[in-house]
Amino acid sequence: MTAIPATLRIPRVRWGIGVLLGAGVLINYFDRINLSVGAPQLQQEFGLTEGELGWLFSGFFWSYALLQIPSGMILDRFGVTAVYRVSSFLWSLASALTALAGGFGGILAGRVLLGVAEGPGFPASAKATGYWFPRGERAMATSIFDAAAKFANVIGVPLVALAVVQFGWRWGFGLTGMLSFLSFLAFLIVYRDPSRHPRLSSAERDYILAGGATREGPAESGEVAMLGYLLRNRKVWGLTIGFSAYGYSFYLFLTWLPNYLVQSMHMSILKSAGFTAIPWICATIAGLGVGGWLIDHLIARGPLCARPCSWWACCSVSRYSALPSRLIQFGRSSGFRWR
């Protein structure tokens, strides 16, 4: 008689936590795209040049990039619960303050503050996933919040575009600020680490721990020692270089694509939102299918299978991720105008 897999006999509270983390990242990215959608109106109202708009787009990334490593060290020291609560409250505040800005300087300050506030977002989600999921489920759990970053553009761009067209660019920031505050309240009420979660059964806790869950609490070797170990690791540098290339393409689409479609392809803001969603729909499906299910499946089959198949999958996804930009380029070279 075939034994029933253990995953079918235990509760699934951990997957509710995975969805909560995904929802947080989803709204986190709403705050990043509101400037991209509202850019045409901002340029018109404040007389901004393309160069000044570029400064506004990059303002978020200065503070965000600089605080990634310090955010990780703070998370290792104080834990997911406390840091994420403060972070999510501050990023809702940053969006609300940007809605009140009176010009270039105020918007730039709001974007820099947003980068500071959202710095711990992804590291916190990754750390919480380590607490809550065994190794065999971790790729799918990670793909939930990673795919949420892409899917945010599928639903967030049209949502923000509707607010901008109907009520003006300030409401684009106000709307994302309100959604971010609701996300803060949800995390405040629902999230606890596994050792403190009232609904986590002993059976599910044992299952998570037996599967290799990350130990809760500060790192035994200390944050500085852990950072030194990572900086000496060749694999970490390889991942960092690869992710840098990925990040450039990702944020090029995230920041410039909506405004490009309006200014160069002569679309309306609402119409550009629909076309902006196309590459992100593909990315969401690939993230869940390849980055989630396929990776967990290959790991379960063993490293000899996982290594060549993972390489092929990554190459395929990276190759086809450039397809939308090539289609747009073809349309422009053909003299096609989107009405």
Q: What secondary structure does DSSP assign to 259-306, as a single string?
A: HHHHHTS---HHHHHHHHHHHHHHHHHHIIIIIIIIHHHHHHH-HHHH
pLDDT at 182: 95
d(CA 10, CA 306): 28
d(CA 9, CA 225): 40
d(CA 290, CA 6): 24
CATH fold for domain 6-245: Growth Hormone; Chain: A; (1.20.1250)
Contacts of 194 (CB under 8 A, 6+ apart): 131, 132, 200, 205, 208, 213, 216
Taking only the tens of pLDDT, the chain with its 339 residues reads 344 454 457 888 999 999 999 999 999 888 888 888 888 898 888 988 888 888 998 899 899 989 888 988 899 889 999 999 999 999 999 999 999 988 899 999 999 999 999 999 989 999 999 999 998 888 888 888 888 888 888 888 888 889 998 999 999 999 999 999 999 999 999 999 999 999 999 999 999 999 888 888 776 666 677 778 888 888 888 888 887 887 787 777 777 777 778 777 777 777 777 777 787 788 778 777 776 667 766 766 765 454 544 444 444 444 434 334 333 333 333 343 444
pLDDT at 339: 41
pLDDT at 221: 64
Torsional sign, CA 273, 257, 323, 24: negative
User: In the chain, where are the structural domains located?
Assistant: 6-245
Torsional sign, CA 239, 152, 299, 202: positive
- What would the two tokens of residue 160 be? 């923000």
Degrees (nearest 5) of the Cα angle 89, 91, 92?
65
